[in-house]
Structure 1
Amino acid sequence: MQITKMKWIAAIVPAICIGLFEFARHKFLHVISMDWGNVLVAVLTGIIFILFSHGIFALMENLYGKLQQEKQETAVLQERYRIARNLHDSIAQSLFFMNVKIMEIEAAWKNQQEPLSAINELREAIRFADTELRQHIFALQTVALDDNINLITAIQNHLRQYEAQTGAKIDFIITCDNEIPFSAYERKQLFHIFQELLFNIRKHAAATQVIVSLSENNEAFTMTIADNGKGFVAADNLRQKQSFGYKMLEQDIRSIGASLTLTSIPGTGTTVTVTKTKKRSYRHDH
């Protein structure tokens, strides 16, 4: 039932029922005493209130169920888009590169030339694709295991996997409570942001050291990720909004009302800070 109809029912039905009962009571006053009439009015009012409340709560439960379903469907679509983009950025490009190298090996073989260089590049591309695929699978498993994730534990596990696969030195600094004071959706989005930042360090920075720090004060929670990689001209990069996974990053950050600051100098490294203001109450408008 639509809310508009419920509003009209709430306004009209109780008045009609009580009015009809009062009419009947006065019409047959010799049958129903005043005291019993008052009792029956109270009973009738209670019955109407119970029935109406039941309808209202049933409507609310139905709307809440639809909202939860829409949220889940939206989350699935977001994950599909994220996976498609990551696969395109890494696996698809690696496969294209491998195909090119195979053609170079075939051409060298036909021309009786030494294809060792192309073979080495092909081997490196296969290794890279295998590592990237494992990373994507791990990222999906990390989120899929528990929708209500513990942000610190999820980041620790992800960093441990990243360190094992890349050999980079990882420093994880925690100066906040173990329970991050945000909703499950906000924590999940913060983890997605962290994954995206780390993925781009791995893909573009060639860093040998990554420092991740989580801190908070009375007003905000801050996540900082710094690397000693190649760096880039940050202002130009932000204007282009293409590299650094900016589109998805911006969407995730906007969805939880956070902010991002980036500092980078070519040859020195990059530092990204994500700040999420604390609120007394949290709601997910998604």
Structure 2
Amino acid sequence: MHTTQMKWIAAIVPAICIGLFEFARHEFLHVISMDWGNVLVAVLTGIIFMLFSHGIFTLMENLYGKLQQEKQETAVLQERYRIARNLHDSIAQSLFFMNVKIMDIERACQNRQEPWTAIKDLREAIRFADTELRQHIFALQTVAAEDNIDLIAAMQDHLRQYETQTGTKVNLAITCAKKIPFSSYERKQLFHIFQELLFNIRKHAAATQVNVSLSEQSEAFTLSIADNGKGFVAAENLRQKKSFGYKLLEQDIQSIEADLQLVSIPGAGTTVTVTKKKKKELPS
């Protein structure tokens, strides 16, 4: 049922019902008293209104459920696309580089030259591919099957794994309640954003230290991630917006109606702040 049809039904059905009851009350006024007629009309009108409201709200709940399901399916497709792109950018390119180095080693052996430089490069490529693959596997396992994610606990586990894998020093400051007041979908998206930001630091920043802050004000929740890496010209990067990872990050940010602020200085690191406003509670 379309929204237009719902509007017409909501306007016409109550009017028709009330008109019929008024007609019935006047038609059978000689059978029952005026007072009992008013009571009967009120009761019948209330029953019809309850049935009508129940039908409308059931329809709205079904439509909302379908909308949420479509949003989740879209999020899953976007996540698969992101993972596929990351695998292409890291694992596939590493395998290509390994193949080139193996050819260099074969050529050096055939020409009776020293292959140690190529072997060293090959060993480094294997180490890099192993780290990348483990990181992707961990990202998939973290919240793949959990519907009601504990956001802070998931972030803490991810940071411990990140510190172990990369050797980067991680500092975590938490000044918010343990239970983040957002929906399951919003918490999942916040965690995906958190993962993507750390992945970009590991891939591009060459940082030795990362400071993560989780804070909560009366109106908003804030996630801040700062690194001491090489940084970049943020304004130019934001104008171009050609990065695949940045586009996906923007989509995740927009899907939960959050705000993203990025401050970066070449040679002095980058700070990314994600702010998600809380829903205002209606006064009781």
TM-score with structure 1 length normalisation?
A: 0.83
Q: Kindly tell me: are residues 112 and 187 of structure 1, through their superposed partners in 2, closer, same or farther at Cα, counting changes over 3 Å?
A: same
Query: 2: CA distance between counterparts of 1:92 and 1:231?
Result: 26
Provide the rounded CA distance (Å) in 1 between the counterparts of 2:217 and 2:132. 36
* Contact 2:201–2:227 under 8 Å retained in 1: yes
* 1:248 lines up with 2:234 in the alignment: no
* Helix, strand or coil at the partner of 1:172: strand
How far apart in 1 are the matches of 2:242 and 2:42?
Answer: 68
Q: What secondary structure sits across from 2:207 in the alignment? A: coil
Alignment identity in percent?
76
Contact 1:149/1:187 (CA < 8 Å) preserved in 2?
yes
Per-residue CA deviation, residues 81-129 of structure 1 (Å, 9 max, x unaligned), is: 2212221221121122122222223333443433332222222212211
Write the distance in 2 (CA, Å) between the matches of 1:209 and 1:158. Answer: 15
Equivalence for 2:258: 257
The whole-number CA distance in structure 2 between the counterparts of 1:23 and 1:244 is 67
Q: Which residue of 2 aligns with 1:278?
A: 277
Residue of structure 2 in register with 1:166 after alignment: 166
Please say which of residues 125-134 and 48-57 is displaced more in the overlay.
Answer: 48-57
| CA deviation vs aligned residue, 1:127-165 (integer Å, no higher than 9, x gap) | 211211111111122222434323322221111111111
CA deviation vs aligned residue, 1:26-53 (integer Å, no higher than 9, x gap): 55655x3335544543343233223312
**2:232 alignment partner, SS class:** coil
Q: Identify the range of structure 1 (208-217 vs 273-282) with the bigger mean alpha-carbon deviation.
A: 273-282
Say yes or no: does 1:153 pair with 2:153.
Answer: yes
User: For the structure 1 residues 71 and 238, does the alpha-carbon distance in structure 2 shift closer, same or farther, using more than 3 Å as the test?
Assistant: closer
The offset of 1:280, in angstroms, is: 4.2
**How far apart in 1 are the matches of 2:118 and 2:22?**
96
Q: Which runs of 5+ in 2 are unaligned?
A: none
**Separation in 2 of the partners of 1:152 and 1:3?**
40
RMSD of Structure 2 on Structure 1 (CA):
2.8
Query: Does structure 2 retain, via aligned residues, the 8 Å contact 1:224–1:271?
Result: no
Distance 2:105 2:82 in 1: 34
* TM-score where L is the length of structure 2: 0.83
- Give the distance between the partners of 1:220 and 1:10, measured in 2 at CA: 37
Aligned residues: 279
2-structure distance, mates of 1:41, 1:259: 57
Structure 1, unmatched stretches of 5+, are none
Structure 1 CA distance for aligned equivalents of residues 109 and 75 of structure 2: 49
Task: Using the TM superposition, name which of 4-13 and 150-159 deviates more.
Answer: 4-13
Q: Is the 8 A contact 2:193 2:253 kept in 1?
A: yes
